[in-house]
Chain A
């Protein structure tokens, strides 16, 4: 019952976002184009490198494209559903506008992170999906429906991880008033998700391997779903991804609520 009422709340926000987008159509088009261009930049990098080499850490061109596409889907989902909310969260805490969310009927973290939906991000999820489908076709992959379903669930786990990381970063603003620039940290981290895990093995005595593959959930987010399509289902990988999704999400919930206790409005 409670879940249903949250869904209804979310639906109301989604409707509001849709109306807003239809009012500013030109804005939607421009921002959609912006995202599309940045995705193009990453694709250009892949195609230029593979002009000069056949494999990167054992991954061929289309395998790499599948990996990059998977990482883009997760990132676009985050951009579409959560980014502008979370980005404003830090500013709102600083300015005191955060009061607004405290007065709303529902969990504060939910209300603060789902108010706006950016449809251009969601539109580009389909472009990123198109890249994955194209790569899969070039590789001659024919995943079954069960595999596609698991792939989607894995991407959602990835989304949960990204959401948690960025929530953790902006929650810092409860403690440090000027936590601006933390979002750069998030973007730096997502860069790692476009790399194949095998590339980390033999580098700098394995320090990046420990840091970005095991300690921080940067690489696993894209590599596990891509490997599922390429090499089939593996229990260990699935459990690993699911486990860290639960861990990071719990941590984000905990830290956010701890921070909330410290919040002491600004204007009043």
Chain B
């Protein structure tokens, strides 16, 4: 099918251009191991004289953070917002307006390529450190979790990308979006569960967080994989809310794109 062939090619280009930065990815992944050391020291100290915190032992908590870290490389958007912003600012976006290619589709196929490269490379330092971490890894053994985890992960990746895409499109209105991006990153990091497992928050806050898109960016799939989520009926409900956010964010991105283009004046290009 020729329509798909276009995006297959942009995917392949994405693979190649990301492989150029393989050392950067590997370096970043190695530094994240330092982050894991910090997390470990902090939580090991918090667990001193305690068997469980919030119903989970130290190994389960560390499993959560390790999974979070690996998944971050596999599904989270890194600098897509910035690249899109640059495309708009430089006028590079003009060439997409003239060609029969969908900009969202083009960007998304590059995003998928970048995640495959980044995730694959991040696995190397994690695998090297595995012998040190092994006794602190405790994954649940139920296989049915995979059936929930796979769609949850796929939708998380779409949510991650679409949020970044929307932020990038803000460039149609604002020249400088770097501060917006980092501000939203702080919120995403916190409410996505990267700082602490969200279930440790006070109950009412945890419940509110389940209606926000951030919950479905990271925490939700990781909680399925690591066994923090146990009730399958709740998982199904959450998959539904996640699907709602996917649709809602896609709709927002489409509105921003159409409105933005009306404001856009093709400079240069």
Contact = CB atoms under 8 A, between A and B. Distances in A.
Interface of A: 27, 30-31, 33-34, 37-38, 40-41, 44-45, 48-49, 51-53, 55-57, 180-181, 184-185, 188-189, 191-192, 194-196, 198-200, 203-204, 208
Nearest to A219: B41
Interface in B179-214: 179-180, 182-183, 186-187, 189-190, 195-196, 200-202
B54 A52 contact: yes
A48 B195 CA distance: 10
B22 to A, nearest CB: 12
Main secondary structure on A side of the interface with B: helix
Given A37-B187, A181-B27, A185-B31, A203 B41 contact: yes
A204 B38 CA distance: 12
Contacts of A185: 31, 34
A51 B204 CA distance: 14
Interface of B: 24, 27-28, 31-32, 34-35, 37-38, 40-42, 44-48, 50, 53-54, 132, 176, 179-180, 182-183, 186-187, 189-190, 195-196, 200-202
A63 B206 CA distance: 26
Contacts of B201: 48
Contact of B53 (A53, A181, A184): A53
A52 B31 CA distance: 29
A195 B186 contact: no
A83 to B, nearest CB: 13
Given A30-B183, A37-B187, A203 B44 contact: yes
A184 B28 contact: yes
A135 B182 CA distance: 28
Of all A-B residue pairs in the complex, the 9 with the closest CB atoms, nearest first, are: A30-B179, A199-B45, A188-B34, A37-B186, A57-B45, A52-B53, A191-B38, A56-B45, A184-B31
26 contacts: A30-B183, A33-B183, A34-B186, A37-B183, A40-B186, A41-B189, A49-B196, A51-B200, A51-B202, A52-B54, A53-B50, A53-B53, A55-B48, A181-B31, A184-B27, A184-B31, A185-B34, A188-B38, A189-B34, A194-B38, A195-B42, A199-B41, A199-B44, A199-B45, A203-B44, A208-B37
Contacts of A189: 34
A56 B42 contact: yes
Contact of B45 (A33, A40, A196): A196
Of the listed residues B132, B179, B189, B190, the one surrounded by the most CB atoms of chain A closer than 10 A to its CB is B179
A45 B27 contact: no
A189 B38 CA distance: 9
A53 B52 CA distance: 10
Contacts of A52: 46, 53-54, 200
B31 A45 contact: no
B40 A30 contact: no
A86 to B, nearest CB: 18
A208 B190 CA distance: 26
A52 B34 CA distance: 25
Contacts of B35: 188, 191
Nearest to B202: A51
A136 B182 CA distance: 31
A49 B200 CA distance: 8
B38 A195 contact: yes
B41 A31 contact: no
B42 A41 contact: no
Contact of B196 (A33, A34, A48, A192): A48
A181 B28 CA distance: 7
Given A37-B187, A53-B50, A180-B24, A199 B42 contact: yes
A208 B189 CA distance: 26
Contacts of B40: 203
